[in-house]
Amino acid sequence: MSDLPALHDALIATIAELAALTARDAPDEAPIASTRYKLTRLSTARRRLIDSLCAELLPRLSPGDAARIRQFQEAHAAQRGTSSRHISDWSPREIVKNWPGYCAASAAMRAAMLAQIEREKALLYPLIRSGHTL
């Protein structure tokens, strides 16, 4: 659990970095690529940790809480698909070619990521704090 808040904080900070980059009039390719890569690495680490936490939590939960975790897992998987499509749709070449379009798409993706982090905090932190994990 101790890693999840740190991952959330790092993700939020990196999302803010990308927001600052997309506020510019023109793309700065190297920092954008670096920040997107950093977001991908952090998101992958978060996904793995959350998958592990959910696997650990499920056997210890009431049927109602377990159902909430399963619904969360399904929604989380759908969000990963959306994120993967965004990354593949917006290659570095496409970003440069359509900077305004990328900025808009990035804003939507960043908002979705921040909302997902808030859902994770609201659902997982209380369950973990209540002693449902080892």
Q: Do 31 and 10 contact (CB within 8 A), yes or no? A: no
For residue 133, the SS3 value is coil
How high is the pLDDT of residue 128? 81
Is 98 buried (19+), middle (13-18) or exposed (0-12) by CB count in 10 A?
middle
How high is the pLDDT of residue 79? 85
Task: Provide block-wise average pLDDT over 10 residues at a time, the chain (134 residues).
Answer: 87 98 97 97 94 91 91 88 93 97 97 95 88 56
How high is the pLDDT of residue 2? 61
Q: Do 14 and 39 contact (CB within 8 A), yes or no? A: yes
How high is the pLDDT of residue 87? 94
- What kind and span of H or E run contains 134? none
- What kind and span of H or E run contains 104? helix 99-129
How high is the pLDDT of residue 129? 81
- What kind and span of H or E run contains 98? none
pTM of the model: 0.90
How high is the pLDDT of residue 131? 67
As a whole number of angstroms, the distance between CA 17 and CA 11 comes to 10
- The 3-state secondary structure of 14-70 reads HHHHHHHHHCCCCCCHHHHHHHHHHHHHHHHHHHHHHHHHHHHHHHHCCHHHHHHHH
How high is the pLDDT of residue 117? 96
How high is the pLDDT of residue 134? 44
- How many CB atoms within 10 Å of residue 89? 11
